Structure 1
Amino acid sequence: MRLVTFLHQGRPACGLVQGDAILVAPSSPYADLRAVIEADAVAEFARLCEGSGERVPLEGTTLLPVIPNPGKILCVGLNYETHRRETGRDVVENPTIFTRFADSQAAHGQPLLRPRVSTDFDFEGELAVVIGKGGRYIARDRAMEHVAGYSCYNDGSVRDWQRHTHQFTPGKNFPQTGAFGPFLVTADEVTDLDPLRLTTRVNGQVVQDTTLDHMIFDVPRIIEYCSSFTPLNPGDVIATGTPGGVGAKRQPPLWLKPGDSVEVEITGIGLLRNGIADEAA
């Protein structure tokens, strides 16, 4: 199934994507997609949508981030060998984790904003994992049972602010710099992540291209590690890292500027597209 969060009659809503339409439940006990996941009610919610008869064209509908209100957004840095090498970072035994705030997210089709204080705005195409069943100290061999589904993520980076100190947080949390979408593909539709191809394009040019089996730390290991230091809750989001090819490490650097278009595509998951605009003065 493909689930989506969007604006419906001026208010946030969620629905089921079928073909070129969104099926909307006329009345639902669930306030948003996070609530659907928390209630372990994805199948029930899909039935409500299918039985409603209300269809909204997907084309032209204003989408919102898949989970607009996650309790946590945990991001994995340096999780592909190509990216670790291009940054010159040391080999590590555990994942590098930093956080994003919910209000730093943008939706599919919404512009990403280059902040007023920087021109060093970079792209990072990634797989996003949405937690379905919460837990603490989740064992690696049970980790995938805790996944609700997957989406595309562009973990946009304001590089000079990211480099102010050893802490990544400032450069990763400017408003509307990280894109999440277009929809959630439920875990039952993805039998094997390894062969899925992650491709990032800037203005149609391929700048990142790999398969997900090239992650240094795979999804079960990331869930095991993160759930050891913090409880994972339904609706939490994990952005699993970007491969080599980021703009900062190109010669000359490839910084995103107003008018550019960035696409993050993962086979079987979707295509996330955003334009670039300057933050308002």
Structure 2
Amino acid sequence: MKLATISVGGRPTPAVALGSGRFVDLSREGGLPSTLLGLVRGWDAHRGAVERLVAAGTAEIGPEGVRVLAPIPRPERNIMCVGKNYYDHAHEFHGSGFDSSGGAQAVPEVPVIFTKAPSAVIGPGEPIPAWRDPTGTLDYEVELAVVIGRGGSGISKADAYGHVFGYTILNDATARALQRKHQQWFLGKSIDGFCPMGPAIVTADEIPDVAAMRVSTRVNGELRQDARVADLIFDIPTLIETISALVTLEPGDIIATGTPAGVGLGFDPPKYLKPGDVVTLEITGLGTLENPVGGRPA
């Protein structure tokens, strides 16, 4: 099932995405949570009602007057991210002169974990505010994002997938010069609007083989990134085990799993994003996340 947050007449509501711009408006069913985050947290109790509403067809709406938002427009906790988690990108980033993660080793021995602020999240179609980066070094990073459904601490790799609710697409947009200047990654990656996400959360049962998924980025139609999730250095169970050993995971938490080679920083000269560019991310089974790059508002 593809679960989205849509705005209908300016009112955000959880919905089921049916394709071709059609949705099932879940606000028409009494007793369901008013947010997608609430639905994730109570999925076991509410799934049956959602399925019945979809089958009935009485709450279907078309694309007219509907705007798709980020699935969880304002996460309650920071988004957990993983640096240098594809082999080619680890070498690409390490050789760029921007890698402040420490040591002379390109490929990390353990997952490199950092976070992005919830205020960075924007939805499909919203402009990435390049003007907020005073250094002019806005870069893109396509990432498979894992949404936690069942929380817990000390989760083993063997049990990890049982805690996954679903998956979505995330653009870990980054101001590279700020990332290097501050010698850590939070500020350069947490600028307001620097985390496009969406278009929906696809429930885990819809993805039979996560490793077979492909992630890609196109900028103005030019293919920049293209890799398989199987190429991750640290797979999803390892990430969940590593994080939950120290930080209790909660339903609705988001883990961005890392980006492959082909970021703008990796070109000579770098191909940073500029106002007017269009960034299109695609992940097998999850759809497409597209955002323009915006200039300073008038």
- State the TM bucket, normalised to the shorter chain: over 0.9
CA shift, 1:270, in A, is: 1.1
The answer to whether 1:112 aligns with 2:128 is yes
Q: Is the partner of 2:66 in helix, strand or coil?
A: coil
The answer to whether the 8 A contact 1:71-1:233 is kept is: no
Structure 2 residue runs of 5 or longer lacking an equivalent are: 95-104
The answer to whether the 8 A contact 1:132-1:147 is kept is: yes
Match of 1:194 among 186, 192, 211: 211
Q: Which residue of 2 aligns with 1:95?
A: 111
Q: Which residue of 1 aligns with 2:80?
A: 74
Q: Which residue of 2 aligns with 1:38?
A: 41
Q: Which residue of 1 aligns with 2:97?
A: none
Distance (whole Å) between structure 2 residues aligned to residue 59 and residue 217 of structure 1: 42
Q: Which residue of 2 aligns with 1:22?
A: 23
Amino acid at match of 1:16: V
TM-score (norm: length of structure 2):
0.90
Q: Is the partner of 2:233 in helix, strand or coil?
A: coil
Count of residue correspondences: 281
The answer to whether 1:47 aligns with 2:26 is no
Distance (whole Å) between structure 2 residues aligned to residue 226 and residue 45 of structure 1: 33
Tell me the alpha carbon deviations over residues 161-208 of structure 1, each in whole angstroms, 9 at most, x when there is no partner: 111132100101111111100001100010111111111100001000
CA shift, 1:226, in A, is: 0.9
1:153-232 counterparts in 2 under 5 A? 153-232=170-249
CA RMSD after TM alignment: 1.6
CA shift, 1:238, in A, is: 0.5
- Shift in alpha-carbon separation, 1:219–1:57, aligned structure 2, 3 A: same
Q: Is the partner of 1:194 in helix, strand or coil?
A: helix
- Shift in alpha-carbon separation, 1:251–1:106, aligned structure 2, 3 A: same
TM-score (norm: length of structure 1):
0.95
Amino acid at match of 2:15: G
Tell me the alpha carbon deviations over residues 85-111 of structure 1, each in whole angstroms, 9 at most, x when there is no partner: 012253322110111111101111111
Distance (whole Å) between structure 2 residues aligned to residue 34 and residue 279 of structure 1: 32
The answer to whether the 8 A contact 1:5-1:66 is kept is: yes
The answer to whether the 8 A contact 2:91-2:107 is kept is: no
CA shift, 1:58, in A, is: 3.9
Structure 1 residue runs of 5 or longer lacking an equivalent are: none
Q: Is the partner of 1:62 in helix, strand or coil?
A: strand
Distance (whole Å) between structure 2 residues aligned to residue 67 and residue 74 of structure 1: 14
Distance (whole Å) between structure 2 residues aligned to residue 154 and residue 74 of structure 1: 13
Distance (whole Å) between structure 2 residues aligned to residue 96 and residue 279 of structure 1: 33
Aligned-pair identity in percent equals: 38
CA shift, 1:17, in A, is: 1.2
Match of 2:284 among 260, 267, 272: 267
Distance (whole Å) between structure 2 residues aligned to residue 192 and residue 18 of structure 1: 22
Distance (whole Å) between structure 2 residues aligned to residue 32 and residue 108 of structure 1: 18
